[in-house]
Amino acid sequence: MVRTLKKELIMTDSAATFDIGMQDGVLNLIARGDWRARELGGLDERLRDFADDSLGRELVIDMSGVDRLDTAGAMVLQRTFLSCQTRTEISRFIGAKDAHTALLEQVRDHLAPCHVAPLQGNAVIVVLDRLGRGVVDAYYSAIEVLSFIGVTLSTAARVAMRPARMRWTPTFHHMEEAGLNAIPIIGLMTFLIGAVVAFMGAKILRLFNADIFTVELVGISVLREFGVLLSAILIAGRSGSAFTAQIGSMKIREEIDAMRVLGLDPVEVLVLPRVIALVVMMPVIAFIAAILGLIGGGLVAATAMDISPALFLSRFQETIIINHFWAGLIKAPFFAFVIGVIGCYQGMEVEGSAESLGQRTTLSVVQGLFAVILLDAFFAMFYLEIDF
């Protein structure tokens, strides 16, 4: 009765402790209590110090006072024992319960420390290494994107010669998914941007008493740049990433390989419908975006300034030549093409794991946006040269 009661008490809360003694010139370590992982926090340091001090000396570990032992407890005891002992006849564990002896035996062979993280080299070298890899990777990925563009174009040409091969159903599906469904959000965005531009323009132009030039400001900026550029940015974020994720997850499930084995060309089946859908839909989206941008600007002009819609429209017709409209719209299919191709290319580059899919999706958006802005700058210079 007393025994069980005592045992209960120990079971519930008995911290691990140890005492060091000396008997016949041999060190004695008397362990008591619960030698379980959660109890070892305050003990580990002292045990290590003890082991350092008594390196190579004989040690007897008295386990008779140990109530509970887990692998962590067995490990620290065994570690201390192994760092001390020199002759096993003298050094030993005494008084251990059978289960505890078995645990001590079990951990004995598994005491080797292991590395937690890959070794890091010199920081400067690591940075240089990463920089070098980045440059080389950028070079190769540029070449690969160009080659993928080539493959897509040649496949398109092949399909154009035999139009029966064109897959219309997925093409229309993507036109709806990537094009039609994107119109509300893109329209709203350009509407707001048009309004913002009008506000800012009005505020500054008023200083010069030139309020009416707000019409030119809104008209030219929205038609030439904002309509198409905002559409491209949103499509890159919305559809470029979706293409990568769709094709990438098919790649992970080996569907792409299955297609190749079945004699289907993944570029023809997957890439072409997506790219064509974007190229067809982007001008439509950009057009609607531009119109809504103009409406946003016009609305601000009418409410915040004294430019009535009629005045806005007549001024618009007088001053904005049709070139501005075309300058914007011509860019749309080019933007769509690079976004679509980069999205599909990154999808095809996905390897094996979900992390790779995540990385590639990020890359798809980043590269898509970069390519769009680069192309836009190129168009701006081109238009400037030809005075368009």
Which residues would be at the binding site for another protein (CB under 8 A)? Answer: 36-38, 40-41, 44-45, 48, 70-72, 75-76, 79, 99, 102-103, 105-107, 109-119, 352-355
Q: Is the dihedral of CA 212, 214, 217, 221 positive or negative?
A: negative
Our CB check for another protein shows the closer of 109 and 387 to be 109
How far from chain centre, in Å, is Cα 215? 42
Q: What's the min distance (Å) between Cβ of 17 and another protein?
A: 17
Our CB check for another protein shows the closer of 9 and 99 to be 99
Q: What's the min distance (Å) between Cβ of 106 and another protein?
A: 4
Our CB check for another protein shows the closer of 36 and 238 to be 36
Our CB check for another protein shows the closer of 44 and 318 to be 44
Q: Give the integer Cα–Cα distance in Å for 109 and 106.
A: 7
How far from chain centre, in Å, is Cα 233? 18
Our CB check for another protein shows the closer of 36 and 173 to be 36
Q: Give the integer Cα–Cα distance in Å for 41 and 113.
A: 19
Q: What's the min distance (Å) between Cβ of 375 and another protein?
A: 35
Our CB check for another protein shows the closer of 84 and 279 to be 84
Q: What's the min distance (Å) between Cβ of 102 and another protein?
A: 6
Our CB check for another protein shows the closer of 70 and 376 to be 70
Q: Give the integer Cα–Cα distance in Å for 267 and 276.
A: 12
Strands (E), the chain: 17-23, 26-35, 59-69, 92-94
Tell me the Ramachandran region of residue 36: left when phi exceeds 0, alpha when psi lies from -120 to 50, beta otherwise: beta
Q: What's the min distance (Å) between Cβ of 109 and another protein?
A: 8
- Report how far apart, in Å, the C-alpha atoms of 40 and of each of 60, 71, 96, 337 are: 20, 12, 19, 63
Three-class DSSP category at 138: helix
Specify which residues 18 forms β-bridges with: 31
Q: What's the min distance (Å) between Cβ of 356 and another protein?
A: 9
Q: What's the min distance (Å) between Cβ of 194 and another protein?
A: 43
Q: Give the integer Cα–Cα distance in Å for 237 and 22.
A: 73
